[in-house]
Structure 1
Amino acid sequence: MYIVMLAYKAPIEEIDYLLPDHMEWLSKHYDAGHFLCSGRQPTRIGRVIITRPMPRAKLEALLASDPLDMARMVRHEVVEFEATRTAPELARVNEALAS
């Protein structure tokens, strides 16, 4: 799994202009089963995405297709981890998604 931290490199007004395209990109990858959750940081300095496990090269390709990345308005920090423990409610969500 990965935690992807997106840090804005452009003024928020420019980011806001591309957010509808970014949201459409997110929806596409939720529908494909790549992403588990996402959202903005409360200070609006960036966003966070938590992904399902996948090869790192595939994740890099997905991130490169983000409209914010294509416009060079974000920097990605990617943290890879293996979940060894989850809250019971997450286990139920994962079971429901798998069926």
Structure 2
Amino acid sequence: MFVVALRFSANKSQAPNLMQAHNDWIRRGFDDGVFLLTGSLKPGLGGTVLAHGVTRAELEARLKEDPFVTEDVVSVEILEIAPGRADDRLAFLLAAA
């Protein structure tokens, strides 16, 4: 499982122009069953993605398809988590580990 931080970079001003394409990229991540959650980093620092069911290499390739990444609107930080314990509602994450 991965937590991805997408932190705004120097080209942040281009975000509004790329928002629809970025949202389409997010939708594909959910449609493919890779993204479990996306959201904003507060206050206005960028966004986050919780991803599972992919390798790090597959995730990195997917991130390179995000217009925010290709146009340097955000920088990417990937944190890999090896789940060890979870609430029953998230038990499926342990099975995938």
Letter in 1 for 2:17: Y
Aligned to 2:4: 4
Letter in 2 for 1:2: F
Aligned length: 93
Map 1:1-99 onto structure 2 (within 5 A). Answer: 1-10=1-10, 12-91=12-91, 94=92
Structure 2 Cα separation of the partners of residues 63 and 37 of structure 1: 15
- Which consecutive aligned stretches of 4+ in structure 1 deviate over 4 angstroms post-superposition? none
SS in 2 for 1:65: coil
Give how far 1:15 is off. Answer: 1.4
| CA offset digits 1:58-89 (Å, max 9, x no partner) | 11100000010111111100011111222223
Q: TM-score, normalised by structure 2?
A: 0.84
Q: TM-score, normalised by structure 1?
A: 0.83
| CA offset digits 1:26-58 (Å, max 9, x no partner) | 001110111111111121111000100321111
RMSD, aligned CA: 1.8
- Could you list the runs of 5+ residues in structure 2 that have no partner in the other structure? none
- Could you list the runs of 5+ residues in structure 1 that have no partner in the other structure? none
Structure 2 Cα separation of the partners of residues 58 and 17 of structure 1: 27
Q: Given the superposition, is the C-alpha separation of residues 12 and 69 from structure 1 closer, same or farther in structure 2, using an over 3 Å criterion?
A: closer
**Does the 8 Å CA contact 2:30/2:36 hold for their aligned counterparts?**
yes
**Does the 8 Å CA contact 1:2/1:53 hold for their aligned counterparts?**
no
SS in 1 for 2:29: helix
